[in-house]
Structure 1
Amino acid sequence: MALGTFFRTTPPQVEAPLARYRSLASDIEGFFQDGAIACWDYLLATQTAMAVPGHALEIGVYRGKSALLAACHMKAGETIILNDISPVDDTVAKVQSLGGPDALSVIVKSTSLLHQPQVAPFFGAARWIHIDGDHTAAAATNDLHVAERFLAERGVICVDDFFNPRYPQVTAAVYHFLRDRQPLYRMVLCGERKAYIVRAADFDIYESLVRKFLAAHLRGCGFVCTIHKSTDSADYGCYSIGPRENDRDYIGLDQDHDRLPV
């Protein structure tokens, strides 16, 4: 689908992938919050609409509660790489039960992931990467650089526990990465303890997607919130998700709430 056509359409509806995920994941232990689930569903669906290459990577799988949602948005011929230090056989089985994507289990520390020959074909080919491994600053930094090797054009890196007060070092690692790798990467959205990083070349696309359709999609998923953008793109220009405020979907500048800066 051409981007011009895509931007004139309404957002993806709450349909098969999310409904299927909810039926499969209800009994899976994990810490995947409703708002994050709704954001993932929107961003993954829009990637599908834009025909972004479909592989995925999750660093730190635990019980597979988040990996399964990514897999629900994938199709036959695509692979989700599940990287953990413990076996993830249950998650592999759940992905395989979808009858679509393949699951590649790589049980090593993420510091060794790039040296595993079976993952080399996926370098530069993952549209969705979730970092949820060891929450030290060193590990988060390593995992961001690992994600860089896998990231496809128009791909998204999602970092777990961003702004979680229990793990301030993860937030610091994200900002250090953005500073050290500027002007190559930008954060386009954060909230529900997740940060979403894209290539700077893709920032305008994702900024437009968040601006036009994200709030409506979140409502459709049953998640009520307000999306903020308090500064322009020259000063981060990142959207953030927070509690519902003044019954508004979006709040812009502090001095003019109706203006979402570009």
Structure 2
Amino acid sequence: MSDPESVGHQLRRWRRQRNLSQLDLAIRADISTRHVSFVETGRTIPSSGMVLRLAEHLNVPPQGRNRLLVAAGHAPIFRSRPPDDPDFERVRAALRRILRAHEPYPAAALDHRWNVLLANTGFDILLEQADPDLLRAPINLMRLGFHPKGLAPRIRNLAQVRAHLLPRLHRQAAQTGDRRLHELYEELRSYGPHEEPQPPDLSDIALPIRLDHCGVELCFVNTITTFGAAFDVTLDDIAIETYLPADDATAQHCHQLARAHASAGTHSGTPTRTAIGGLPDHM
């Protein structure tokens, strides 16, 4: 039996998560089933090229590929730096520009566990009235959205949104094998409501998020942007979550809020509200 951290054990875990047999993987990678078996049981130590070949056909993310390479006795090939590393300033600057471009609509940079790393001022719409405990670093967007003391009471189609996002979180946890994502999924699943959601309106281009803000119903559609050719593991794990207006009334409301804040000097000089790894000083 291979050690839980051995390259063979990790490859077997990834193969099972992808619902592949050893024969399936062997055919995809154009190697023998016997070779796959020998690697998984530790009878053969794969070369770095073989590790990357198998990882490619198993759709293993860069961070996982680094772990496989190290377990097989090879050097990792993807850079991995903490988000607060000074050399990561160019990435932070790029993220700030992207988030600023989405003003006055809410947008945030998230890590792979849905923790908010950086957010623009429009993101305030999602934070208002939330329990202060939910706004402590790191803010978890999934928890903020579904917690009874978070955004949930303000989402008018909460059952629909839950029915869409919770299965997505469950698939992510299963595909990555991330224990913390599994724990987050189990936590969020315990929150209400548990009634059957209304079927979506097929005239919509995407599932809308209907949100109450100061007595006004806003309607957003959600988009996610990822970096398609990242060579840095940290950047590969970052996604931009945006909330775009689904109707003119929502767009007008967001612009009115931005003008009001600008007039009051609320966000003067603060185009983004968080720093990677932290939260706004005033929260």
TM over 0.5: no
Q: Which protein has the bigger helix share? A: 2
Q: Which protein has the bigger strand share? A: 1
TM-score between both structures, scaled by the size of structure 2: 0.30
Q: Name the larger-Rg structure.
A: 2
